[in-house]
Amino acid sequence: MPQTITDKTIFSLAEVARSIQKTIADRYKSLYWIKAEMNKLNHYSHSGHCYPELLEKKDGKVIAEIRSTLWKGDYERINQRFMEVTKEPLKNGINILMQASINYDPVHGLSLHILDIDASYSLGELEREKQASIVILKEQGIFDANKQLIFPVLPKRLAIISVETSKGLADFLKIIDNNPYGYHFEHRLFPALLQGEKSVPSIIDQLKQVRLSLHDFDVVAIIRGGGGDVGLSSYNNVLLATAIATFPIPVITGIGHATNETVSEMVAYKNAITPSALADYLLQHFHDFARPVAYAEQVLRSKTTQLFEKQHQLLNNTIKYFRMVSINELQENRHQLASLRSRTLQQSKQVLIQEKNSFKQLKDLLSAQSKHILMEEKQNITFLGQRLKRENIHLNKHSRQILVQVKVQLIRQVHHIASKERAQLNELQNSLALHGNKSIQEATKKIESQERHLSILDPQHVLKRGYSITLLEGKAIKNANMLKEGDKVKTILALGEIESEITFVKGNNKTEKYE
């Protein structure tokens, strides 16, 4: 009961609380359907009870907030039906339509006692948000912006936005990192919350981080594990969908559900129902590139092998031809050299015989002349002695000595003349012998030089010195005027061959014939 003190009626706090409790109980006797955002479920596993925090927002501001209770039995029943309809349990951050009574407790204050939740309402809220976001994106002309980007031929550098412990991420990485084809992917994880009210700013912030190193990536992959539609409400958010639609490189999603697409999936370049399906999509791009390349490689190897075999046969034929021509030329020159050597030796012998005959004749002539001179001198001496005798000239001893000295001197002169003639004859003989040997040596050197020259003309030796043979349709090119732009020519080197296409020809104005 209230007290009266100095004309003041005073109530205790308990009295006021009980009065409020009675008033509310008398005023709110019925059950009411109330819509609100369940900010936090506050489920306590030890007791099984829940104490949800309920909010109502307007323009992003909280305009109403109240606590509520959901007892264990009611929670189990409602949660079971909620999972059957939405494929997800009750959780934080969802809009609900609940049936509740209004209660006031003097200790715990005002609260709502939740008796039932309409699961279909939560699905309807998602759909309304989804349609509103689609309208806004289409009015801004950005709904298909990301889809219009050019997808890389080989999307190997991936920026992945996901939760590090997500099972969907583990499945995705297992497929791309352990693919049996040996395709190599580079990926970097940008961790983010993927559901709940904080998921939208978290994913948008990580997209901003990817932009800072955009040149390091080919695509962005948003990967989330399985779940129902209620947990996907953040992916219908217009801000998140705008960030994905306007991202400068393709965004692909593997959010992990098989029901209606969210707005974020609609505006992404490609969405897959599971992370595993998204990994298969990337591998397929590598397949689409690798198969034609493998076929082209096979064709190129086959054509190259055939071409090498053909050119090898052509080169062998050319080598055989050059070798045959060289051998024939060498044999012909050897025959000519042998004939020349034979003629040279024969002529040298003839010259030597002639010189020997001339030398013998000269020797005989010199010998005869020497004998003749000696005989003449002897005759002169004899004649002189006889004359002296006839003239009765008496010679004394001194005169006889002078006469003997003159005789000796004449004999010496005869011998000197004979020796000189003999020396000249020997010199002439040596000269003839030297001349004959020199002629033979010169002929031999000439033959050896021609043999070396013919050996050098062998095509293999020519190629080894850095020269090459250029062929057009199997024929050797000797004049640039034989070529035109677009012709395909083959160049034979000492080791290997080169095939090329003519892009420029500089001819010679001189006209020469080559066979």
23 with 99, same domain: the answer is: yes
CA–CA distance, 304 with 95 (Å, rounded to integer)? 69
Q: At what angle do helices 167-177 and 275-390 cross, to 10 degrees?
A: 30
Q: Which two tokens stand for residue 361?
A: 């004749």
Q: 370 in a domain, yes or no?
A: yes
Q: Which two tokens stand for residue 483?
A: 């070529």
For the chain, the helix, strand and coil percentages under 3-state DSSP, each to the nearest 5: 55, 20, 25
Report yes or no: 244 and 262 within 8 Å, Cβ to Cβ.
Answer: no
80 with 200, same domain: the answer is: no
CA–CA distance, 185 with 159 (Å, rounded to integer)? 11
Q: 245 in a domain, yes or no?
A: yes
* Amino acid (one-letter) located at 385: G
* Cα four-point dihedral sign 118, 120, 126, 130: negative
* Amino acid (one-letter) located at 141: G
The enclosing domain of 46 has a CATH number of 2.40.50.140
Beta carbons within 8 Å of 341's beta carbon, 6+ residues apart: 443, 444, 447
230 with 154, same domain: the answer is: yes
268 with 149, same domain: the answer is: yes
3-state SS assignment for residue 365? helix
Residue 59, Ramachandran bin (φ over 0: left; ψ between -120 and 50: alpha; else beta): left
Q: 322 in a domain, yes or no?
A: no
384 with 358, same domain: the answer is: yes
For residue 336, the number of C-alpha atoms closer than 13 Å in the C-beta half-sphere is: 11
108 with 214, same domain: the answer is: no
442 with 414, same domain: the answer is: yes
344 with 236, same domain: the answer is: no
Where does a domain end: 122, 149, 164? Answer: 122
Per-position DSSP letters for 225-241, written without gaps between them = ----SGGGGGGG-HHHH
Among 188, 226, 195, 47, CA closest to 126: 195
Torsion angle, CA of 119/121/122/126, rounded to 10 degrees?
A: 140
Beta carbons within 8 Å of 234's beta carbon, 6+ residues apart: 194, 195, 196, 197, 199, 200, 203, 240
pLDDT in tens, 70-84: 999 999 999 999 888
3-state SS assignment for residue 101? strand
Q: Which two tokens stand for residue 275?
A: 């992370």
| pLDDT, position 156 | 93
Strand-pair partners of 421: none
Query: How many domains does one find in the chain?
Result: 4
Among 113, 69, 119, CA closest to 97: 119
Among 136, 132, 143, 122, CA closest to 229: 122
Give how far the C-alpha of residue 506 lies from the chain's centroid of Cα atoms, to the nearest Å. 34
Where does a domain end: 257, 273, 289? Answer: 273
Among 163, 195, 192, CA closest to 94: 195
Beta carbons within 8 Å of 336's beta carbon, 6+ residues apart: none
| pLDDT, position 247 | 98
CA–CA distance, 346 with 500 (Å, rounded to integer)? 57
- Give this prediction's pTM: 0.48
Q: 295 in a domain, yes or no?
A: no
For residue 486, the enclosing domain spans 468-501
CA–CA distance, 292 with 301 (Å, rounded to integer)? 14
150 with 267, same domain: the answer is: yes
102 with 164, same domain: the answer is: no
Beta carbons within 8 Å of 20's beta carbon, 6+ residues apart: 104
CA–CA distance, 169 with 163 (Å, rounded to integer)? 8
DSSP E strands in 59-178: the ranges are 61-69, 94-105, 109-118, 157-162
Which contiguous run of DSSP H or E holds residue 301?
helix 275-390
Q: What angle do CA 402, 408, 413 make, to 5 degrees?
A: 125
Q: How buried is residue 187: exposed, middle or buried, by Cβ count under 10 Å (0-12/13-18/19+)? A: middle
453 with 340, same domain: the answer is: yes
Q: 263 in a domain, yes or no?
A: yes
The mean pLDDT values, 10 residues at a time, for the chain of 515 residues are 78 90 90 92 94 89 93 95 82 88 92 92 77 93 96 95 92 94 94 85 96 96 72 84 97 79 93 92 91 81 88 89 87 87 84 80 76 75 68 49 56 63 64 58 61 57 70 80 84 82 76 47
Q: 303 in a domain, yes or no?
A: no
CA–CA distance, 242 with 239 (Å, rounded to integer)? 5
CA–CA distance, 310 with 290 (Å, rounded to integer)? 29
Q: 135 in a domain, yes or no?
A: no
Where does a domain end: 458, 482, 509? Answer: 458
Which contiguous run of DSSP H or E holds residue 221?
strand 219-223
Q: 292 in a domain, yes or no?
A: no
436 with 334, same domain: the answer is: yes
The enclosing domain of 179 has a CATH number of 3.40.50
| pLDDT, position 357 | 83
| pLDDT, position 424 | 64
